[in-house]
A and B are shown apart, each in its own frame.
Chain A
Amino acid sequence: MKGLRFIIAGVIFGIIMTKSEAVSWYRIQEMFRFQSFHMYGIICTAVVLGALAVYLIKKFHVKDSLDNPIVFTDKEKTRANYIIGGLIFGLGWALTGACPGPMFVNIGYGYVSFIIVVIGALAGTFLYGLFRRKLPH
């Protein structure tokens, strides 16, 4: 099954998110109160190593598993949507302690009430799609 590798990658991601405690509402509160380096350490390590990896992939024209060149697409050069959308995301992130990935990881962990958070997130995504043309980007 060709899709199995994505399931395995997801399993590893879920384990990382849990064992790093990045799925914890408490840890997110601790981060937004600047009372521990833990979450900042995780994000900074990931970004620094990620940037190094992206740099090396570009420099050495690394190919993917199907021998196609790995391409990076630039984000659209708009401004308003990143700031306003980001702000709205942040409000929800601190309230539920979860970004989209950890919501699902938490359900697997046994916090079934995160199903309600996911339903909210799907509704929010749908509302964005519905009102997209009326919003500043």
Chain B
Amino acid sequence: MLDLLKQPWPWYISGAAIAAIMVLLLYFGKSFGFSSNLRTICSMVGTGKKVSFFDFDWRAQKWNLLFLVGSVLGGLIAATLLKNDAPLKLASATVADLKAIGVKFDGQLNPAQLFGAHSLSFKNIVILLSGGLLVGFGSRYAGGCTSGHAISGLSNLQFPSLLAVIGFFAGGLIMTHFLLPLILSI
């Protein structure tokens, strides 16, 4: 069983498991949406006194912060108990494309070149910080992220969520095909 769990999971198992998490949270009387945690954390540290958007009872969102803590632990368990040492099976076309823009495929989940603790150059810090900034700003502006819109919203056939998901993909395509090669070549 453990050996089976250690393998990378096929897409249909993963997709079904994500739907199951959404249903589980609905059964707990909550709705699946991760990015609202970012707003909750902003509120927790007292920004509500200055900015009305953060002036709400963040304690009602404590369950979602616990979900966040769990997800960090889940990552830790996956890296230890359920670790699989085989290299990621990335499409060879992607390996070649990334090589052409100067990113080496090292078989891990994320390129050490960008995310390794030893490669925290000034440039990498700027990339990570600004990437996070875009995700944080964009998800709040759009009223949700991949979990809130692409999973919860689309499952509830919400047209606004479809607009947001189209936006997610348009932005992703612009970054991948036009901006990333430029950013990496600086």
For chain B residues 149-186, which have a beta carbon within 8 Å of chain A? 149-161, 163-177, 179-180, 183
Per-residue interface assignment for chain A, residues 56 to 88, with 1 indicating a CB less than 8 Å from any chain B CB and 0 otherwise: 010000001110101011111111011111111
Contact B165 A86 (CB under 8 A): yes
Closest to A92 in B: B134
Query: Which residue of the partner chain, among B64, B132, B172, contacts A121 with CB atoms under 8 Å?
Result: B132
Interface pair B171/A6, CB less than 8 Å apart: no
Quick one: given A44-B15, A122-B41, A125-B137, are A95 and B131 in contact (CB under 8 Å)? yes
Alpha-carbon distance A6/B93, docked complex (angstroms): 39
A45-B19, A86-B171, A96-B131 known; A25+B115 contact, CB < 8 A: yes
Least CB distance from A54 to B in Å reads 5
Q: Looking at the assembled complex, report how far the CB atom of B184 sits from the nearest CB atom of chain A, in whole angstroms.
A: 10
Closest CB-CB distance, B3 to chain A, in whole Å? Answer: 13
Residue-by-residue, is B16-55 near A (CB-CB < 8 Å gives 1, otherwise 0)?
1111011111111111001101110110000100010110
- B71: A residues at CB distance < 8 A: 10-11, 13-14, 17, 101, 104-105, 108
Interface contact B167-A120, CB-CB below 8 Å: no
In chain B between 132 and 158, which residues have their CB closer than 8 angstroms to a CB of chain A?
A: 132-143, 145-147, 149-158
Task: Give the chain A neighbours of B24 by CB distance below 8 A.
Answer: 9
Q: Are A85 and B142 in contact (CB under 8 A)?
A: yes
**Complex-state Cα separation, A65 to B29, whole angstroms:** 7
Chain B: interface residue total (CB-CB under 8 A): 122
Among B41, B73, B157, B164, contact of A86 (Cβ-Cβ < 8 Å): B164
CB distance from A84 to the nearest CB of B (A): 7
Q: A91-B174, A116-B128, A125-B38 are in contact. Are A14 and B138 (CB under 8 A)?
A: no
B109 pairs with A86, CB closer than 8 A: no
CA distance A73 to B144 in the complex (A): 14
Which residues of B from 97 to 115 have beta carbons under 8 Å from A?
97-98, 105, 109-111, 114-115
Taking a contact as CB atoms under 8 Å apart, the answer to whether B109 and A26 are in contact is: yes
Q: Are A101 and B93 in contact (CB under 8 A)?
A: no
Contact partner, B74, options A12, A53, A127, Cβ 8 Å: A12
A71 to chain B: closest CB distance in Å? 9
| B131:A82 contact, CB within 8 angstroms | no
Residues in B neighbouring A41, C-beta threshold 8 A = 11-12, 15
- Asked whether, in the complex, the Cβ of B74 is within 8 Å of the Cβ of A10, the reply is yes
Contact between A22 and B14, CB atoms less than 8 A apart: yes
Top 6 nearest A-B pairs by Cβ distance?
A14-B74, A86-B167, A10-B70, A90-B171, A120-B132, A45-B15
